Every structure is written in C-alpha cells, then in structure tokens.
Amino acid sequence: MTRIAVLISGSGTNLQAIIDAVAAGKLPGVEIAVVVSNRKTAYGLERARQAGIPTEYASLGAYRRAGGTRREYDKDLADMLQNRYKVEWVVQAGWMHLFSMAFLKHYPGQVINLHPALPGIFPGMHAIERAWHAYRRGELGHTGVMVHLVPDEGVDDGPVIAQQTVPIHDGDTLESLEARVHETEHRLLVRALRELLCQT
C-alpha cells in the first residue's frame, strides 16, 4: 500500500476527486494517510473527516508568532508526515505554500503538485484569472492544467507528469473558465497519480 498525504488550503475539490477515485478502485494500492491544511477553515478538512481520513491543521502563522521560521515549519511538517503517518508521497492539491528544501529534502522526487496552467506559463497564483485576461487581450487561445514533481524551490516548474490543454471560448466568463479548468484538474490529477503510483 502506498501511503500519501494530500495537502490543501481551500475547498478540497481535488482532494474529493482523489477520495472518490480511491473508493472506486481507480487508484489501486493507494491510501490517503492524512489530509493537511494550512488554513483552519478549509472545507477540505471536512471532506476528509466525512471520509474517515485523519486530518492535521498546520499553521505557518502560529510558527511565526512563536518566533519560528518557515524552514522550521517545513522541517517539522515533513517529520510529522514521515514519523506519525508513514507518508511516502506528498500531493499538493491546492496547497498555497511554497516548500523550502527543509521539507523537500525529506521527500526527494516524491512531492507532486497540481497547477492550473501549462508548463512555463502563468506560474504562481491566480493562473486561471491571468489566462482569462490574456485571452481577452488576444494573447492566447487556450490555457491548461499540469501535474508535476517538485524537486526544489522553483515555482511550478518541476518535471511534468501530465498536462492537458483547456480551450478558452468567446463566451467564457472567468467563472465558466474556472469551472472547466477545475473539471480538467480532477481528471488529470487522478490519471497522473494512477500512472505514477499504481503498478496495476
């Protein structure tokens, strides 16, 4: 059994896609060992609880208020995942925190990130909104989604596992484009995890 941690910061729709895929047997041999959020009110924590999955709230702000550093936070989080939950792979599914090497060195080649843009385009935050505005300026005709490994502290630029183009239509609003990108994320993330983690 391959034990994964899913890291979230928000509503957890991509987490739900993984939960559903595991329940349906589409990710054979994969177990969600824990769901971690850096936001206490993230609805993804409730999704995990409803599925009977352990949860952890890990606040960087609390570390900083206590005089700690980002690197100490990263190290302690990695230690918790390894020692308490025996996690082998880490999946960032809407996790709004850029890890330092203090975390990544504990999981070399074993951190997976989902990003709502194609490789090399719109790294960082607000990628869907930036793509929509670029389309309205006539600068591009599509956006996309990628799943990639996180080997270092670069932003959304690790080795690509899977990618898929998402067209932008003339009648699109930002909301309709976001919905289509998120639907693509759910499918692509599960497909990438199956290809990477499942041997059957």
3-state secondary structure (DSSP) of residue 198: coil
Q: Residue 72: what residue type?
A: E
Q: Which tokens in the block code for residue 92?
A: 């960032």
Q: Which of 106, 115, 148, 186 is catalytic?
A: 115
In our burial notation (b when 16+ CB lie closer than 10 A, e otherwise), range 27-40 reads beebebbbbbbbbe
Pairing of strands 142-149, 111-115: antiparallel
In our burial notation (b when 16+ CB lie closer than 10 A, e otherwise), range 103-131 reads bbebbeebbbbbbbbbeebbeeeebbebb
Q: Residue 158 and residue 156: Cα distance in Å, rounded?
A: 6
Q: Which tokens in the block code for residue 74?
A: 């990263």
Q: Which tokens in the block code for residue 40?
A: 């206490």
115 is catalytic: yes
- Known catalytic residues are 115
